[in-house]
Structure 1
């Protein structure tokens, strides 16, 4: 089995979170593979920027880790992705979905709507927990 370390972002703007629709019509979060000694935080920021077109991103906290396995048709082997997640905020109004990366749709969705859209249960849990942490952090910043 091929193991890949990845990093990604749970990006909030107000009470909405950014989701992407991939080539399998799955609603997912932006992420990418860590390569060549890169830092997870750098990969997360770079991949979120590349996949979403969002420019003004700020990491406010770690969000946790998830992992999943799948069979790679192109490699003909099982793959395990282990992902480190970061909670990010932006005030960007415009975005540009990366069609080159296979995404067909995406954008900011209110939390309730996002939780219905997200394909995988662990991503739903990640967004739910991250949203609570994000709200707590933002509340502390306004005090």
Structure 2
């Protein structure tokens, strides 16, 4: 099994959170693979900027999730271990990067985001992050 360390952001603007829709039609959070000795927090910020065009700042850690899938292109199973950060943006403007396979996205209310997000693990993470943002406010 190929194991990859990744990092991502749960980005808030006001009471809304950033979700992206990928080429498979899945509603997800921005994230990417940590490479070449990069720091997890730098990768998370970079991926939020690259995928959504959103400049954000980290306000807290959010935890970690792991998930496995079978990679058709690699012909083997992959495990992504994702370190998450809670971030805030000073604007809800997005510039979605179609070349990064992002087909839709934006900032959504808690109810709408929890309804849209594809994976239950991400839904749990979102719920925890909404609670934590309320505590930080």
TM category (shorter chain) comes to over 0.9
**How many residue pairs are counted as aligned between the two chains?**
137
- Measured on the aligned residues, the alpha-carbon RMSD in Å equals 0.7
Moved over 3 A (4+): none
Q: Which residue of 2 aligns with 1:81?
A: 80
Give 1:43 shift.
0.3
Unpaired segments ≥5 residues, structure 1: 139-143
Q: Which residue of 2 aligns with 1:133?
A: 132
- Describe how 1:15-26 pairs up with structure 2 within 5 A: 15-26=15-26
Contact kept? 2:92, 2:107, Cα under 8 Å: no
Give 1:91 shift.
1.6
Query: For the residues of structure 2 that align with 1:24 and 1:7, how far apart are their CA atoms?
Result: 20
Q: Which residue of 1 aligns with 2:94?
A: 95
TM-score normalised according to structure 2 size? 0.98
Residue aligned with 1:135, SS: helix
Residue aligned with 2:118, SS: coil
